[in-house]
């Protein structure tokens, strides 16, 4: 990947009432509940959607924001985003659900076509969306064919639902209650990290 830096934007919105109208259509959507639908999007499509501000970071339904050098940024882990980018390039990223919210009465569904009439806000998956966006930015600079193939071949299952702000907060809270593993336990599931740790111990012995 190129070492050239790109200017990152964060699409931060601090009030649900500030979400802007959109006129988007996603095909091949599956209705799972009265107000929830599943679609499949590529990393390229997610990166492009974030670039176009069709997907935003609604701070009241996330971990919040912090001010760094005078700029408001989401509370997140750059290390995790970097690791996801590397895994994506190695075709090794474990794919999981990304959950997006949209205000009530802003979705229309008909025969597999989902019409989206508002900006979507991330409930679960900010780091994954950010990794897609950064790779998308790098591709726009480098026009690298391999990077383009990676962006197009990496697919994510997206749950899009109509939620009130309170409902979105409750969903995020449930997702955030997952049991955390110790660092050594995480490494034991990761063959590369585990090997590095063993080699390090041997070198010190």
What pLDDT, on the 0 to 100 scale, is given for residue 35? 93
Three-class SS string for 69-132? CCEEEECCCHHHHHHHHHHHHCCCCCCCCEEEEECCCCEEEECCEEEEEECEEEEECHHHHHHH
Beta-sheet pairing, 98-102 with 21-26: unpaired
Cβ 65 vs Cβ 72: under 8 Å: yes
- The structure tokens 């050594």 sit at 184
Q: What pLDDT shows up at residue 70?
A: 86
Whole-number CA gyration radius for the chain: 18
- Phi and psi at residue 121, in whole multiples of 5°? -115, 145
Residue 149, classed as helix, strand or coil, is helix
Q: Which residue has the tokens 């990761």?
A: 190
Residue ranges of the chain with pLDDT lower than 50?
1-2, 179, 181, 185-186, 189, 195, 198-199, 201-203, 205
Written as six digits, the tokens of 73 are: 């940024």
Closest by Cα among 13, 33, 38 to 156 = 38
Q: What's this model's pTM, rounded to 2 decimal places?
A: 0.82
The pLDDT score that the predictor gives to residue 158 is 97
For residue 18, the model assigns a pLDDT of 96
- The crossing angle, in degrees rounded to 10, of helices 43-51 and 126-142 is 90
pLDDT of residue 193: 52
CA–CA separation, 5 vs 73, rounded Å? 17
DSSP state of 181: P
């Amino acid at each position: 990947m190129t070492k050239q830096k790109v200017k990152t934007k964060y699409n931060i919105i601090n009030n649900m009432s500030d979400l802007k109208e959109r006129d988007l259509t996603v095909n091949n959507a599956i209705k799972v509940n009265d107000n929830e639908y599943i679609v499949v999007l590529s990393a390229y499509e997610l990166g492009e959607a974030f670039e176009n501000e069709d997907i935003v970071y609604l701070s009241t339904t996330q971990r919040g924001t912090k001010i760094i050098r005078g700029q408001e940024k989401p509370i997140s882990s750059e290390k995790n985003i970097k690791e996801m980018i590397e895994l994506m390039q190695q075709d090794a990223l474990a794919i999981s659900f990304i959950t997006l919210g949209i205000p009530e009465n802003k979705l229309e569904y008909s025969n597999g076509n989902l019409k989206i009439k508002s900006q979507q806000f991330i409930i679960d998956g900010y780091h994954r969306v950010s990794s897609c966006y950064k790779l998308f930015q790098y591709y726009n600079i480098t026009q690298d064919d391999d990077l383009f193939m990676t962006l197009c071949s990496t697919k994510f299952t997206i749950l899009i639902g109509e939620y009130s702000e309170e409902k979105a907060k409750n969903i995020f809270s449930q997702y955030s209650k997952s049991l955390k593993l110790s660092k050594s336990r995480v490494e034991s599931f990761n063959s590369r990290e585990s090997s590095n740790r063993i080699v390090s111990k041997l070198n010190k012995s």
